[in-house]
Amino acid sequence: MYDLIIIGGGPAGLAAAKAAWDKGLTKILIVERNWELGGILNQCIHNGFGLHHFKEELTGPEYAARYIDEVEKTGVEVRLDTMVLDIRQTERKEDGLPVYEIPMAGKECGYTCELTKSVVLAMGCRERPRGGVVIPGTRPAGVFTAGAAQRYVNIDGYMPGKRVVILGSGDIGLIMARRMTLEGAKVLACVELMPYSSGLNRNIVQCLNDYDIPLYLSHTVTEIRGEKRVEQVVVSEVGPDRKPIPGTEMVFDCDTLLLSVGLIPENELTQGAGIEIDRRTKGAFVYENMETSLPGIFACGNVCHVHDLVDFVSDESERAGASAADYVLKKKAVSEAAPVVTKNGDGATYIVPQRIRPENVEKFVKLFFRVGRIFPKADIVLTSAGNEIARFHKKFLAPGEMQNIVVTKEVLSKATEELLLTVEEIVETEVGA
């Protein structure tokens, strides 16, 4: 019987394992489907990781190594090349806690079932595939997600193509524009449906501008041409309704189209276990301690909501791991009171955590959210039962950058049942006539 089984050995799983061990859990197992720990960081060879967490700029493999080294110093067990197949509730109880059964299949362990008192879901996310964006045209080879291309280039050492168009301006797309250019490909264009890029400014400067790669905002790919291999893609401008404007077509002769059109949390196991999913985050509903709707099962990192910075994944996962330890060691009383439910109002697209048990909050709780459009200046307003209970002034809010506000226990005590978060834009008016 394990105290804790962590599903996924990427940045989320590693940070959760370390935190749970430090809090006193001793029987911890990480199950990782790849042959090594570190998850997607292994193929993110560019730098810029760790600015918040380690106060220095690391590459992905270096950031992963820091955590792998920490976990290797503990007694945490790791099973590589092993895939979890299901999460099952059992009739059994251990120390009064429900016991979960985790069937898995692996290179070393074969098919086996392990029992555990708690679980941390740290499966991460996957890229939205071509089927997730409607692009008319044929089905030739040469259409890849940006992350798949990143793996081919950085791990396997293959170049997926020579003349490239990138659809979507998410950070992976921008990073791959530079990477493919350095490896000798010609990147003809980066095409973004929205009037703004969803990537970080620094990546637009360092990855596109440095290499003179044009960024077409308010444009999209309207056709893919080619029989066996991509031969051309057609790009059109879109109107404010995001529909292509006829007559604006540009044709690019290329052999490759990379898609960087969003990430989706990988929650098949979560759903199979009967855990409630938030359709906004596409991750589990979580409480203030990252616990899901099933007691003793926690979620953190990109499986819970997609992050832009790994530093925040590590922070969140350390909280999830510590919470799992508190749960197993019964450091906190189980609350019977109804939780405060957080709701995203105008201007916000989601909030994590979705539920808060005020008596479980020691000093404060951080609310993480995203805005629906660009706000140069705005107030984040919290209301409950029609009364404003807090207001936070913020600058430069963009959908591509996750925001957070700190809600103190005192502010939280004014909330009843529901806590509504809205974004009010502040429009500057000229003073004087």
Partner 1 sequence: MKELICICCPQGCHLFVDEENDFAVTGNSCERGAEYGRTESMAPVRVLTSTVTCEGGAISRCPVKTKDAIPKGKIWEAEALVKQTSIKAPVQIGQVVIADIAGSGVDLIATKEIGALK
* Site of interaction with partner 1 (CB under 8 A): 35-36, 42, 45-47, 57, 59, 61-62, 65, 153-157, 182-183, 200-202, 204-206, 210, 395-396, 398, 401
Smallest distance, partner 1 to C-beta of residue 388, A: 27
Which residue lies nearer to partner 1 by CB, 205 or 338?
Answer: 205
In the complex with partner 1, the residue whose CB is nearer, 66 or 414, is 66
CB of 400 to partner 1, least distance (A): 9
Find the shortest distance in angstroms from Cβ 323 to partner 1.
29
Shortest CB 38 distance to partner 1, Å: 9
Nearer to partner 1, 118 or 203 (CB): 203
Residue nearer to partner 1 on the CB measure, 225 or 394: 394
Q: How far is the CB of 424 from partner 1 (least distance, A)?
A: 20
Residue 182 CB, nearest distance to partner 1 (Å)? 5
Compute the least distance from the CB of residue 214 to partner 1, in Å: 16
When the beta carbons of 157 and 386 are compared against partner 1, the nearer one is 157
Identify which of residues 113 and 155 has a Cβ nearer to partner 1 in the complex: 155
Q: Which is nearer to partner 1, 183 or 227 (CB)?
A: 183
In three state form, how does the secondary structure of the chain look?
CEEEEEECCCHHHHHHHHHHHHCCCCCEEEECCCCCCCHHHHHCCCEEECCCCCCCCEEHHHHHHHHHHHHHCCCCEEECCEEECCCEEEEEEECCEEEEEEEEEECCCEEEEEEEEEEEECCCEEECCHHHCCCCECCCECEEEHHHHHHHHHHHCCCCCCEEEEECCCHHHHHHHHHHHHCCCEEEEEECCCCCCCCCHHHHHHHHHHHCCCEECCEEEEEEECCCECCEEEEEEECCCCCECCCCCEEEECCEEEECCCEEECCHHHHHCCCCEECCCCEECCCCCCECCCCCEEECHHHCCCCCCHHHHHHHHHHHHHHHHHHHCCCCCCCCCCCEEEEECCCEEEEECCEECHHHCCCEEEEEEEECCCEEEEEEEEEECCEEEEEEEEEEECCCCCEEEEEEHHHHCCCECEEEEEEEECCCCCCCC
